[in-house]
């Protein structure tokens, strides 16, 4: 029983698309927080700071999911 090593190009594509999706989504969440006045970097844990953290987290997760959806749609093309 032999195990085939994973394709390096595929691994790089997965890693880069995940990273770009996560960081892009997190930045969109950060900017959305700035628009509504929720500063993720405010000192202490007040409501505005927690709201900013939540927006960054949701944005990063959504960006990651969109990147994975995009990648799976690319692999289904002939």
The string of pLDDT tens digits covering residues 8-37 is 888 999 999 999 999 999 999 999 999 999
> What's the structural domain count of the chain?
1
Is 12 a domain residue?
A: no
| C-alpha span between 33 and 58 (Å, rounded) | 11
Total-model pTM: 0.83
Q: In which residue are the tokens 């409501």 written?
A: 47
Residues of the domain holding 56? 21-71
Confidence at residue 19, expressed as pLDDT on a 0 to 100 scale:
97
Give the helix/strand (H/E) hosting 63.
helix 47-75
Q: In which residue are the tokens 């628009």 written?
A: 35
Confidence at residue 51, expressed as pLDDT on a 0 to 100 scale:
95
């Amino acid at each position: 029983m032999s195990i085939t090593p994973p394709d390096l190009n595929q691994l790089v594509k997965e890693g880069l698309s995940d990273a770009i999706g996560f960081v892009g989504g997190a930045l969109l969440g950060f900017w959305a927080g700035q628009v509504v006045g929720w500063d993720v970097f405010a000192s202490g844990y007040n409501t505005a700071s927690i709201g900013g953290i939540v927006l960054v987290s949701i944005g990063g997760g959504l960006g990651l999911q969109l990147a994975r959806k995009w990648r799976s749609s690319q692999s289904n093309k002939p």
